[in-house]
Amino acid sequence: MTTSTLADAEHIAISKSRGIQIDWKDGHHSDYGLQYLRDHCPCASCTGSHGTPPRPKSGENPFQMYEKKLKMDSVEPVGNYAIRIMWSDGHSTGIYSFDHLRKICPCAPCLSTT
Ligand SMILES: [Zn+2]
Ligand SMILES: [Zn+2]
């Protein structure tokens, strides 16, 4: 299977309180929860400028603000290759390219191939 443009979104369904669902042109379907998307924010401050993700392992930091109900304040398209998410915690520099989104698809088959 040779697909050069794998990350092509056919349809995007956005729920600000629940997350994002994407139907890909190749027939794949992705369902991203809010917290999952927030955890996978691709911006420099979230991923760390030295290429090392600063995300603490779950359970290491019990005082994280995960209790606060996270939601998206708004979502806007960036060209036709990405979306930008404004989070209720004030974070808004994350630009989620479809390429990135496809890579972080949380479905079981995708997780098992990475
Ligand atoms: Zn970020
Ligand atoms: Zn998948």
Look up the pTM and report it: 0.77
* Residue-number span of the structural domain to which 108 is assigned: 9-50+71-113
Task: Return the CATH number at 106.
Answer: 3.30.2020.30
CA of 59 to the centre of ligand 2 (A): 26
CA of 28 to the centre of ligand 1 (A): 26
In a domain, 64, yes or no: no
37 contacts 100 by C-beta, under 8 angstroms: no
Task: From 93, 68, 74, select the one nearest 16 (Cα to Cα).
Answer: 74
In a domain, 44, yes or no: yes
Q: Estimate to the nearest angstrom the gap between the alpha carbon of 107 and the chain centroid.
A: 13
Ligand nearest to the CA of 109: 2
CA of 38 to the centre of ligand 1 (A): 7
In a domain, 90, yes or no: yes
Count structural domains, the chain: 1
In a domain, 4, yes or no: no
The answer, yes or no, to whether residue 16 has pLDDT greater than 70, is yes
Please report which confidence band the pLDDT of residue 1 belongs to, taking 50, 70 and 90 as the band edges: very low
In a domain, 59, yes or no: no
Task: Read off the pLDDT of residues 22-75 as tens digits, 9 standing for 90 and up.
Answer: 999 999 999 999 999 999 999 999 988 655 555 555 555 555 555 568 999 999
CA distance 21 to 41: 16
In a domain, 87, yes or no: yes
